[in-house]
Amino acid sequence: MARSMWRGAIQWGLVTIPVKLYLATESRSISFNMLHEACLNRIQMRTYCPHEDMQISRGDTVRGYEYAKDRYVVITDEDLASIPLPTVRAIEVERFVPATPTADEPPRYVKQAYYVEPEPIGRRAYALFREVLATKDLAAICKVVIKDREALAALGPHGAVLVLETLYWPDEIRAFAELDLPDEDVEVKPAELSMAEQLVAPMTGAFDPSAFRDEYRAALEEVITAKVEGREVVEPAEPEVGGGQLADLMAMLEASVKAATAARPADEKAAGKSAKGATAAKGATAAKGATTAKGAKATAGVTSRSVGVAAKPAGAASRAAKPVNVADAAAARAARGTAEGRAAAASAAGASAAPSAGSTARRQRPRVAEDEQEAAAAKVQRRRSA
């Protein structure tokens, strides 16, 4: 943030809130320098006194007010500083009004907007003042002296910051009574009004400043870039100026409604397609995770069951465990149509295609158990024979 351009206080009854002002806007317009056409060198604006017929410096000038033809009174900085105004270093709150002007209230023509920042000592009072304005939906009408001029201003909250907007004084606003405006006796046909409302509907929406750009400045920058790079500047085609008469108003409204209605679904379709793609991707990711988890669970179940068979204690020959093959067992469960069997079969098939050292060792365990059980059964048989 740049340096503050004003320091003072908000005077709210007996409450004083020390604050600083910062410009809320800045100009991004392209400026030009004046050159001498013959040599293309920049010219200089010099201060010239025609009475003395000489060039003078800025330091030799004073501020004067013309009170009569060619008669002036000098106003110094000391004269301005001595003006007995309470608003010289204060934003004096005069009254509170609705934040949005009512229908019978004159419009508020804004000159300049400033951000209001509290000094460390005034943060609590600043927050209280901001919250009461936001809660009541009010703006404070104030007077303040900025750059040697007293200004009428409206002070209101905008999110976390208070914004001071200087306004034009009533005598600075021109009247529009002399303008040639349509009277109330001008007939507006119901069909035209209905068609006009249909044209307004697809163009209605929230105000998003980022959706707009300065097309003229962008085109001017392109012209400047082309000149710098030595490229040819292409002249744009002349825009078509509508020459329709009032009799064609209905036809123009109908054509405008069709164009606006056709453009609206395209924008909504593009936004919907983007949202649908994000939803589908999210669903696919979730489904993939669920399938992976389910397959892992089924594989773990098959493995634990096969290990359990291998770990059975040696018993009678009639209860001796049969050789167990993980792939065969999983395939059998898949044949019964269970989802667990299908997942286990897929997992077992993958394990059979690319066996690791661990999986090979697990498949060998049932065979080792079978050999141990057969040896135990043979030993029992020999004892019986003896």
Q: Give domain limits for the chain.
A: 6-26+46-172, 286-385
Q: Which two tokens stand for residue 249?
A: 């108003």
Strand partners, 19: 8, 118
Q: At what angle do helices 339-353 and 249-310 cross, to 10 degrees?
A: 70
What token pair was written down for 197? 């409302």
Residue 277 has what pLDDT?
52
Q: What fold is seen in the domain 6-26+46-172?
A: Ku70; Chain: A; Domain 2 (2.40.290)
The pLDDT of residue 167: 95
pTM, 2 dp: 0.58
Give the pLDDT of the chain (386 residues) as one tens digit per residue.
578 999 999 999 899 999 999 999 988 888 899 999 999 899 988 899 999 999 998 889 999 999 999 999 999 988 887 877 777 789 999 999 999 888 888 888 999 999 999 999 999 999 999 999 999 999 999 999 988 789 999 999 999 999 999 999 999 988 888 888 888 778 888 888 888 888 888 888 888 888 888 888 888 888 888 888 888 777 766 666 555 455 577 777 778 777 877 776 656 655 555 555 545 545 545 444 444 444 444 444 434 444 343 334 444 444 444 444 444 444 445 444 444 444 444 444 444 444 444 444 444 444 555 566 666 666 666 666 65
Cross-strand partners of 38: none
pLDDT at res. 62: 94
Could you give the C-alpha distances from 206 to 158, 203, 211, 222, in angstroms and in order? Answer: 17, 10, 11, 31
> Can you give the pLDDT at residue 1?
58
Confidence at residue 36, expressed as pLDDT on a 0 to 100 scale? 92
Taking each helix axis from N to C end, the angle separating 249-310 and 190-200, rounded to the nearest 10 degrees, works out to 40
Question: Amino acid identity, residue 319?
Answer: R
Query: What secondary structure does DSSP assign to 208-232, as a single string?
Result: -GGG---HHHHHHHHHHHHHHHTPP
Please tell me the distance from the alpha carbon of residue 127 to that of residue 114, in angstroms, as a whole number.
Answer: 17
Our measurement of the distance from residue 362's CA atom to the centroid of its chain's CA atoms, rounded to an integer in Å, reads: 57
Per-residue pLDDT at 321: 40
pLDDT for res 360: 47
What's the pLDDT score for residue 301?
46
Looking up tokens 């465990």 gives 321
